[in-house]
Every structure is written in structure tokens, then in C-alpha cells.
């Protein structure tokens, strides 16, 4: 393991040996950070490309690094986290229906799911249903909208909202019981 000052000196001289030493020394760290952030949504090739981008960025900006402000390990960790988060956000922006319930009006939500467009569910019933769901508050209302209107699986909801999968499932179960009681006019003081 080469010391940071030796690696940085070689990097600043644009010597390929510096890049090689840096990768030999910190590949495990960078790969682990990136893998833990994006492996559930990206391919192995995407993970490897992100890792390469991390090393490239540090190499490209090596003349701006001051080891008095932090180690190469710290700089690489920060770059790896930022790059992985950027990829994660980009993936979800392109591939998921991220929905924030507050951005919809009750009338819009009432028509999102085709099952609720059937003649036996009139507009007032649908509107009341959505109003009751929104009244549950966050995160319960958003979880239900994602689960039943957008048909997102618990794992996708978990990743998007930062809540454990088993917590999502428990909340759905409890909230459905609560909604049934509300719609039957029963007391809902039970958790």
C-alpha cells in the first residue's frame, strides 16, 4: 500500500503509475461504496463504469487535492457516494413513476386507476375515497397511492421512500384496516 502523498505526487505528474497505485490501494473501498448504492437497480457493468468514473474524476482533479484537508481515501469515498447517488437518481427519474400525493388534486387521483372508473363507483365515492386516503397523512397516503393506484411493488416503494420493505407491508396492512373502519363508520382509535 503506497502512501497518499506518493500516489498524489505521481497523479499530479500525470504518471500512469499513480493511477495504478491509487486503484490498487482503494479499489475495494470505491467498489463497495458504489455497489452498495446502486447494485439493486443497475447492472454489474454500470457499477464498474461508475467505479471507473470515480477514479477518473480524482485523477483529473488531482492538482486541486490538498492532503492537509483529507486523505485520498476520504476524497474517493465522497466522489464515489456522489457519483452513485447521481446514477441512482437518474435511474429513478427515467424508470419509475415517482409520485408525491400532494401534487395531485382529489379529482385527478380518483381517475388514476381504471378500476375506479367503472359505473358502480361514482365521482363522489371516488373523491371521498381519495380524500380519506390523503387524510391518513404521510407516509401512509403515499404508500397506498403507490401500492394500489400505481401498482408499485413494496421493494420499489421502499427504495423510493427510504423505508424498509417489511415496514411498507405492515403499514399497508394497518392502513387498510383503518380505512375499512373509516368507510364503515367505526371508531378508528385502534393502531
- 56-92: pLDDT as tens digits: 999 998 989 889 888 999 999 999 999 998 887 777 6
How confident is the model at residue 103, as a pLDDT? 45
* pLDDT, mean of residues 140-151: 80
- 153-185: pLDDT as tens digits: 888 888 888 889 888 888 888 888 888 787 777
Identify whether 111 is part of a domain: yes
How confident is the model at residue 107, as a pLDDT? 45
Identify whether 189 is part of a domain: no
Position 40 confidence tier, pLDDT thresholds 50, 70, 90: confident
Q: How many CA atoms lie within 13 A of 59 on its CB side?
A: 18
Domain that holds residue 148: 101-184
How confident is the model at residue 143, as a pLDDT? 87
Question: DSSP class of residue 148?
Answer: I
Q: Distances in Å between the alpha carbon of 130 and those of 116, 137, 142, 148, 177?
A: 11, 12, 11, 12, 16
Q: 108 CB contacts (<8 Å, ≥6 apart)?
A: none
How confident is the model at residue 181, as a pLDDT? 80
Of the three residues 95, 115, 147, the one that is the final residue of a domain is 95
Same structural domain for residues 180 and 116? yes
Counting DSSP H helices and E strands in the chain, the numbers are 9, 0
The CATH number of residue 47's host domain is 1.10.1740.10
pLDDT cut 70: percent of the chain above it: 79
Q: For residue 124, is pLDDT > 80?
A: no
How far apart CA 2 and CA 57 sit, in angstroms, is 20
Query: Of 16-20, 38-42, 142-146, which one has max mean pLDDT?
Result: 16-20
How confident is the model at residue 128, as a pLDDT? 76
Same structural domain for residues 67 and 118? no
How far apart CA 191 and CA 177 sit, in angstroms, is 9
Same structural domain for residues 136 and 161? yes
CA angle 156, 160, 166 (to 5 degrees): 60
Same structural domain for residues 44 and 115? no
The answer to whether the predicted template modeling score (pTM) of the entire model surpasses 0.85 is no
Q: What is the mean pLDDT of the chain?
A: 79
How far apart CA 172 and CA 115 sit, in angstroms, is 19
Q: For residue 110, is pLDDT > 60?
A: no
How confident is the model at residue 99, as a pLDDT? 45
Same structural domain for residues 52 and 130? no
Q: For residue 51, is pLDDT > 90?
A: yes
Question: DSSP class of residue 63?
Answer: G
Amino acid at each position: 500500500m503506497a502512501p497518499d502523498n506518493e500516489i498524489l505526487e505521481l497523479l499530479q505528474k500525470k504518471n500512469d503509475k499513480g493511477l495504478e497505485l491509487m486503484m490498487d490501494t482503494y479499489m475495494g473501498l470505491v467498489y463497495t461504496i458504489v455497489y452498495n448504492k446502486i447494485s439493486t437497480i443497475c447492472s454489474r457493468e454500470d457499477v464498474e463504469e461508475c467505479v471507473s468514473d470515480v477514479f477518473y474524476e480524482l485523477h483529473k482533479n488531482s492538482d486541486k487535492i490538498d492532503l492537509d484537508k483529507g486523505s485520498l481515501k476520504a476524497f474517493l469515498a465522497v466522489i464515489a457516494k456522489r457519483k452513485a447517488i447521481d446514477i441512482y437518481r437518474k435511474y429513478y427519474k427515467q424508470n419509475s413513476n415517482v409520485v408525491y400525493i400532494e401534487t395531485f388534486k382529489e379529482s385527478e387521483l380518483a381517475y388514476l386507476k381504471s378500476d375506479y372508473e367503472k359505473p358502480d363507483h361514482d365521482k363522489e365515492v371516488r373523491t371521498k375515497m381519495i380524500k380519506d386516503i390523503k387524510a391518513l397523512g404521510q407516509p401512509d397516503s403515499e404508500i397506498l397511492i403507490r401500492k394500489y393506484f400505481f401498482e408499485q411493488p413494496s421493494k420499489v416503494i421502499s427504495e423510493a421512500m427510504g423505508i424498509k420493505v417489511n415496514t411498507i407491508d405492515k403499514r399497508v396492512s394497518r392502513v387498510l384496516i383503518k380505512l375499512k373502519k373509516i368507510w364503515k363508520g367505526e371508531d378508528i382509535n385502534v393502531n
